[in-house]
Every structure is written in C-alpha cells, then in structure tokens.
Structure 1
C-alpha cells in the first residue's frame, strides 16, 4: 500500500507494518493506527507514521543501538494490554528528536514504545527510573 505523508512524501508499507495503539501515543491519544517502516539509508532508524494524520510521524530507533545497558521492566498491565507471552515478542523503540547539530540529537529513554511483534499491538509507557531522561543525548562526547 502507498501512503502520502506531508513530511516524508510517498511511503510504501504492508499490512504487517501496521501497529495498533489502543491508548494512542502520548500526546496523540486520538491516533490509534500507525505503520512502522525502514527509511532508506537511515539504519538503525525507522519511521512510525500515523495512518490517521498525514502530518504525524516519529523517527524511532532501538535504544540498544546506542545504550547497551538500557533496561526496563514491563509491569503486568503493559504485558496484559499487549498480550505478551514471551520476551521474544517484544520490540522496544524510543523516539528521536532531530537537530542540525548532531550533538543535540536526543532520544526519549523515559517513554519507550513497546510493540508486540506477534500481534502488532503497541503502547508507549513511562519508565519510573530517574537515570533515564526524556531528552537523552544520542551521541555521547
């Protein structure tokens, strides 16, 4: 399928790329359907784009690409909401805030997006750990 994003232009995605957020994404509670696709030549970054609003899309990445020691514990509510049966079903992504100065690019380690890849359910959670920041520099000096 093809989708015309106001920011990213024409994007091709498949049904398997559609993620349902029963609670929406923080700050965008009304948006429930997103698709997750790779962006050309931008590994390890992906695009999580709303199917319901052509202007809403997030650049995301696995926090483990940049933070080897990143660790979260999913509570029972999140596990039940996403119908998680095993850890192999879990994909963890964090949103990226871009900046023309590479040293000012940040990621939100406090609000990761959890996706059950076996049923394509997603939820953004808040991690109760003071060592993780909403605007953690992606590149350490």
Structure 2
C-alpha cells in the first residue's frame, strides 16, 4: 500500500513517499518503507494488537487533512523500536500513524493522552 505524508513524519519532514510492506515471519508487524531513501524504514504494528482498548481522538484538522469520511476509512499503526533483547522492544502508543485506506494520505498524530507511553513494552515479563 502506497502512503503519502504531506507534512512528512516528525524529524523526517523531507520524506513524503512511503509504502507499507509485509515482514516475512512477522504477521502483525509491517515495514513502513521510504521510497525516497531506501535505507529508511520503520517497523510498525497496529496499536490494537498491544492495547485492545486503545482509543485516540482525531481532530477535525486531521480528519480534513486526510479526507476521512468515516471511521472505516482509517488504518492506525504505531512505530516499533527494536532491540536485540525482546524484553526491550517498545511501541510508541503516544504518536499513532493514521492512514486513509482509500487515498493513502497519512499523518502522525501526537496525542496528549498520558495513559499511552512513547516506549510501551511489547512483551511483558
């Protein structure tokens, strides 16, 4: 799936053109691959895989920016920080990536909800 970030991602504003790719052997994980810089890619996962009751408020501005007309239009992903120690692999639940499934328009939303952490452990224990 092709994805376009009109404003880029925070810290990567100069890159707008991405593609979501499957990761072999990691069904719930995907790769958000930059088409403008081959070595730039982010591992992503649905936050609902981590927190079943995950909730975010999408502002009117984001709804307009992404041309969202219904909740079914939106895919939600969170970025994953990898580590050689699986217990230290984390997911950023504070700043989800929202994607309009029809247009491919995307934006990273920085939420104010302190319930969600920037470095939430994926594997407990």
TM-score (norm 2): 0.97
**Which residue in 2 is equivalent to 1:137?**
121
Tell me what 1:118 maps to.
102
Per-residue CA deviations over 1:71-130 (Å, capped at 9, x if unaligned) read 101000100000000000100000000111111100001111000001110000101101
Deviation at 1:19, TM superposition (A): 0.5
| Paired residue secondary structure (2:30) | strand
Indicate the structure (1 or 2) with the bigger Cα radius of gyration: 1
Higher relative contact order (CA 8 A, sep 6+): 2
Structure-to-structure mapping, 1:1-141, within 5 angstroms: 17-141=1-125
Give me the whole-angstrom Cα distance separating, in 1, the residues matched to 2:39 and 2:88.
23
Q: Gaps (5+ residues) in structure 2?
A: none
SS, match of residue 95 in structure 1 = strand
Residues in 2 aligned to 1:63 and 1:75: alpha-carbon distance in whole angstroms: 19
Q: How many residues are matched?
A: 125
Query: 2-side partners of 1:137 and 1:70: how far apart?
Result: 15
Runs of 4+ in 1 over 2 A off after TM superposition: none
